[in-house]
Amino acid sequence: MRLEKCWFCSSTIYPGHGIQFVRNDAKIFRFCRSKCHKNFKMKRNPRKVKWTKAYRRLHGKDMTQDSTFEFERKRNRPERYDRNVTENVLKAIKKISKVRHAREEEHHRQRMKGNKVMKLKEDAKELEQSIHLVGPLVKKDDMKKEKIIPLREDHRMEE
Amino acid sequence: MRTNLKVVDNSGAKRVMCIQALKGKKGARLGDMIVASVKEAQAGGKVKKGQVVYGVVVRAAMQRGRCDGSEVKFDDNAVVLVNKQGEPIGTRVFGPVPHELRKKKHVKILSLAEHIA
């Protein structure tokens, strides 16, 4: 049993899933689902389609270089069954995936680091530029009678 | 019926037309045997134009389910000419062929093939 990778989106293809297309030069294209197959038939480049792994890797969205990826590799030589080795492998799989998840989270955090400051800056700029949209509303309301309600409205606009 | 198929062996035929599928009412699928009429042939080959021959469909553009539930499809519709007993007429097979031929007892075609998909 071998878990193949989808040609288009690079997701894992489990046995019994998807379709494979064999070109006349014997190159095999495997697809995980009809979505990927259809995109291939439309001659789309996976590097230009935003939801594929290829795009995300190319644009620095995902972690690309890491020692945890080294374990998952295509090997053409079948391994002779050994109970101890299997046990150790099963233990290692859990550990490795844990490490990988942690590293991926760290990568995501690093990538999103400047976002909050940028968002605040943008909001402040928008408030400054489009304050005139809020201004007349506040002026028209007679502030003396009801002080609370216009203030609330004002806040909502700013957000 | 009436499907034009490419002949991918060195029997001398270039193009054949299916005139009968030997199994199933819906027509032949990947790996099925057909009866065909030779429409184009090279001069000096083993088969002549107009001859009625048997063949095995080795490539089909229509997808076919595999035993594990996934599917396989090819670029074109292609056939290898065989005799009535299922032994290939030519001595070479070009292009990829599916491994399902083994299940259909066409091991000779598989061993002649360049690539097995």
Instruction: For residue A45, tell me if it sits in a domain.
Output: yes
Does residue A69 share a domain with residue A98? yes
Contact A17 B115 (CB under 8 A): no
Give the C-alpha separation, B53 to B39, whole Å.
11
Residue A4 belongs to a domain with what CATH number? 2.30.170.20
Domain count, chain A: 2
Instruction: For residue A14, tell me if it sits in a domain.
Output: yes
Res B54: pLDDT? 95
Nearest to A16 among B70, B73, B76 (CB): B70
pLDDT band (50, 70, 90) for residue A16: very high
Does residue A6 share a domain with residue A49? yes
Residue A22 contacts B where some CB pair is shorter than 8 Å: yes
Does residue A110 share a domain with residue A69? yes
Give the C-alpha separation, B30 to A154, whole Å.
71
Contact A24 B114 (CB under 8 A): no
pLDDT band (50, 70, 90) for residue A72: confident
Does residue A24 share a domain with residue A2? yes
Instruction: For residue A118, tell me if it sits in a domain.
Output: yes
- Residues B13-28 pLDDT 10s: 999 999 999 987 888 9
Instruction: For residue A31, tell me if it sits in a domain.
Output: yes
For B113, the closest chain A residue by CA position comes to: A26
Instruction: For residue A101, tell me if it sits in a domain.
Output: yes
Structure tokens at B33: 């045997």
User: Looking at beta carbons, which residues of chain B come within 8 Å of A19?
Assistant: 63, 70-73
pLDDT band (50, 70, 90) for residue A130: confident
Torsions phi, psi of A105, nearest 5? -60, -40
Does residue A69 share a domain with residue A37? no
How do beta strands A4-5 and B4-7 pair?
Answer: unpaired
Instruction: For residue A39, tell me if it sits in a domain.
Output: yes
Instruction: For residue A99, tell me if it sits in a domain.
Output: yes
What's the pTM?
Answer: 0.76
Answer with the residue of higher pLDDT: A145 or A30.
A30
Mutant choice from A1, A6, A22 vs B, greatest count of B C-beta within 10 A: A22
Nearest to B63 among A17, A19, A28 (CB): A19
Does residue A91 share a domain with residue A111? yes
Nearest to A15 among B68, B72, B115 (CB): B68
Contact A16 B68 (CB under 8 A): yes
Q: Determine which helix (DSSP H) or strand (DSSP E) holds B4, and give its type and residue range.
A: strand B4-7
pLDDT band (50, 70, 90) for residue B44: confident
Res A156: pLDDT? 54
Does residue A94 share a domain with residue A51? no
For range A50-54, the mean pLDDT? 94
- Residues B103-116 pLDDT 10s: 999 999 999 998 99
- Residues B23-43 pLDDT 10s: 878 889 999 999 999 999 999
Instruction: For residue A93, tell me if it sits in a domain.
Output: yes
Residue A28 contacts B where some CB pair is shorter than 8 Å: yes
Does residue A52 share a domain with residue A1? yes
Residue A105 sits in which domain range?
63-73+87-123
Does residue A15 share a domain with residue A31? yes
Contact B71 A20 (CB under 8 A): yes
Res A9: pLDDT? 93
Give the C-alpha separation, A42 to A31, whole Å.
14
Taking any CB pair shorter than 8 Å as contact, residues of chain B touching chain A are 59, 63, 68-76, 95-96, 98, 114-115, 117
Does residue A54 share a domain with residue A6? yes
pLDDT band (50, 70, 90) for residue A68: confident
Percent of chain A topping pLDDT 90: 58
Give the C-alpha separation, B64 to A100, whole Å.
38
Q: How far is A13 from chain B (nearest CA, A)?
A: 10
Per DSSP (E only), the strands in B60-116 are 64-65, 71-74, 78-82, 93-97, 113-116
Does residue A53 share a domain with residue A13? yes
- Residues A83-120 pLDDT 10s: 999 999 999 999 999 999 999 999 999 989 888 999 99
Does residue A52 share a domain with residue A28? yes
